[in-house]
Amino acid sequence: MAKKNKTSSPISDETSELKNRLQETEETLDAIRQYLVDAFVVTRSDGTHVITIKDADYPYRLMVEAMNEGAATIIPDGTILFSNPRFCEMLALECGQLVGVRFQDLVLPTEQEAFELILKETTEAGRSGMRAEFCLQPARGECVPVQLSLYQLPGEGIRGISIIATDLTERKQAEDALRKNENLFRFIATSSPDVIFAQDHDLRYNWIINPAAPLTTENVAGKTDRELLPPDEAQKTTELKKRVLTTGVGIREDIFLSIGESPGWYDSVYQPIVDEKGRITGIIGYARNITESVLAKEKIRSLASALTKAEQVERHRISLILHEDLQQRLFAIKAQLSLLTYGSENGMSPKMQSALQQIQSELAETVAMTRSLSVEMSPVVLHGEGLADAILWLASQMREQFGLQVEFTSKDESIYLEDHMRVLLFGAVRELLFNIVKHAHVTRANVSLAQVGDQLRITVSDAGTGFDVAAVMSDPNTAHGLLVIRDRLSLMGGRIEVTSKLGEGARVVIETPLESKTT
């Protein structure tokens, strides 16, 4: 037993000594971290060195401890003497575990040589502020992307180096997301036939996707529309884009552009580019070739025009039948009945005479009705050139037939219209006046005719009972006439705008493009 106790005693003493030394080391490290020591000794190959910690440095230590960036102090061989909590957090280690560790061992193996180079530049060449991006190896998880900035620390004796580690994780994630979005955008953009581009404040192209052949991305970049388009087209696009730069409001317009080998109509959209300070730095836009759509619309308008002309021809034909055929026959029958009545007065019973007189009266009404229908179907005034004259005639007809007083004003009686458009607009005004007679419960209406730019504007209004526009326009039966006008105008490139409220009357505006008169 005595022998056993004698053998275990040295081991126990050695274990106890190691524990004491470990405890002293931990206490020393804690004291250094808590700034409870003024100096400590570092053993190097060239001997031992005492590193002092001055009281004046205390406020800076507090700042380093609280900063949101990682910070570490190393000696020229890379040994870490100090690290702040943020740096320890990046590596998922206790700060005490980093003291004495070579900084190189925290960097990915593939990047250690690059770190040695900037460390050498800092220590031997004396260059402070060296920066480079690395990836630190934490105790767990994926590597942490950081930017390391190395600075020499002035001091007596041993030279120190401060390393500031800026966490780039969020920036890298944002860059990856931006790269993915950019790749997705480019995939979508290049899969589309649309021309997509951005221009700076001087309206020089920064980049362009899908330029029309033979233009390429390279020979468009850095140029302006004045260098790529004919003068008149360049002037128009430049004016529109300058308006966006000045007002900050986007524009969408159909423009004819002679782009490369694909001249035609383009649906063009220009939007401002605004920086983080709210300043407009350029524009972004796209242009979609809509030539086929424009040609299709022109074809539809041509067909609609032909339909209107055919309709008017048919109306005129029926009007002639009513006027020259049916009315003549009715007149003949009425004349024969008059002769029959006159020749048989003595031998005809009073009842028979009354019946014949009734027939004659009804025939007279029928003749008047056919005459009126003939005129309404194809008014003679429509075969002239003036829409104003036709509306004046219509106003007199509305007064005679329905007692509706129509006040008509025209600012330009020389407005030229093709026959089919004159017939279409005349019919629209007549339909609107009929609606006033039937629904507005008033005896007065207003009609105005004016040229606004390259548009003809007709306004029909009244101060009657008014109506709920949304409710009426959604009911095909109630708004049949208005819907027909809207559809016919749309086919011809025009539009109709209806404004009304219950008890506040109604206002209808018709606008249609004007064509230049050809000789």
The mean pLDDT value for 413-418 works out to 71
Architecture of domain 38-171: 2-Layer Sandwich (3.30)
Q: Which of 40-49, 135-144, 156-165 has the lowest mean pLDDT?
A: 40-49
pLDDT interval class at 288 (50, 70, 90): confident
The mean pLDDT value for 344-358 works out to 69
The mean pLDDT value for 55-71 works out to 64
Q: What is the pLDDT of residue 200?
A: 94
Q: What is the pLDDT of residue 295?
A: 79
Fold of 198-289: Beta-Lactamase (3.30.450)
Residue 322 and residue 320: Cα distance in Å, rounded? 5
pLDDT interval class at 510 (50, 70, 90): very high
The mean pLDDT value for 121-149 works out to 86
Any idea which residue has 């530049």 for tokens? 121
Please say if the pLDDT value at position 125 is more than 90.
no
Q: What is the pLDDT of residue 158?
A: 53
User: Burial of 339 by CB count in 10 Å (0-12 exposed, 13-18 middle, 19+ buried)?
Assistant: exposed
Q: What is the pLDDT of residue 488?
A: 82
What average pLDDT does the structure give for the chain? 79
Please say if the pLDDT value at position 481 is more than 70.
yes
Q: What is the pLDDT of residues 216-226, one digit of tens each?
A: 888 888 999 99
The CATH code that applies to domain 384-519 is 3.30.565.10
β-partners of residue 44 are 47
Please say if the pLDDT value at position 455 is more than 70.
yes
Q: What is the pLDDT of residue 471?
A: 85
Phi, psi for residue 425 in degrees, rounded to 5: -70, -35
Q: Which residue has the higher pLDDT, 179 or 50?
A: 179
Q: What is the pLDDT of residue 2?
A: 45
Any idea which residue has 């206490």 for tokens? 27
Q: What is the pLDDT of residue 47?
A: 59
Q: What is the pLDDT of residue 507?
A: 94
**Contacts made by residues 132-136, CB under 8 angstroms, sequence distance 24+:** 133/168, 134/107, 134/108, 135/107, 135/108, 135/111, 136/90, 136/91, 136/106, 136/107, 136/108, 136/165
Q: Which range is most confident: 58-67, 185-194, 210-219, 378-387?
A: 210-219
Query: How do beta strands 444-452 and 405-410 pair?
Result: parallel
The mean pLDDT value for 131-149 works out to 89
Q: What is the pLDDT of residue 513?
A: 86
Q: What is the pLDDT of residues 206-217, one digit of tens each?
A: 988 888 778 888
CB 270 within 8 A of CB 251: yes
Percent of the chain scoring above 90 in pLDDT:
24
Q: What is the pLDDT of residues 289-337, one digit of tens each?
A: 888 877 777 777 777 667 766 766 666 667 666 666 676 777 777 777 7
Please say if the pLDDT value at position 496 is more than 60.
yes
The mean pLDDT value for 251-268 works out to 84
Please say if the pLDDT value at position 263 is more than 50.
yes
- Can 38-171 and 198-289 be said to share one CATH topology? yes
Q: What is the pLDDT of residue 436?
A: 93
Q: Which of 31-35, 75-79, 141-145, 492-496 has the lowest mean pLDDT?
A: 31-35
Q: Which of 59-68, 158-167, 455-464, 505-514 has the lowest mean pLDDT?
A: 59-68
Please say if the pLDDT value at position 86 is more than 80.
yes
β-partners of residue 152 are 161
Closest CA to 270 of 248, 293, 289: 248
Closest CA to 391 of 449, 434, 442, 333: 449
Q: What is the pLDDT of residue 329?
A: 72
The mean pLDDT value for 232-255 works out to 92
374 half-sphere exposure, CB direction, 13 A CA radius: 17
**Domain map of the chain by residue range?**
1-32, 38-171, 198-289, 303-378, 384-519
If phi over 0 gives left and psi between -120 and 50 gives alpha, with beta otherwise, what is residue 468? Answer: beta
Q: Which residue has the higher pLDDT, 33 or 67?
A: 67
Closest CA to 63 of 167, 164, 158, 148: 164
Q: Which residue has the higher pLDDT, 339 or 390?
A: 390
CB 379 within 8 A of CB 387: no
Q: What is the pLDDT of residue 237?
A: 93
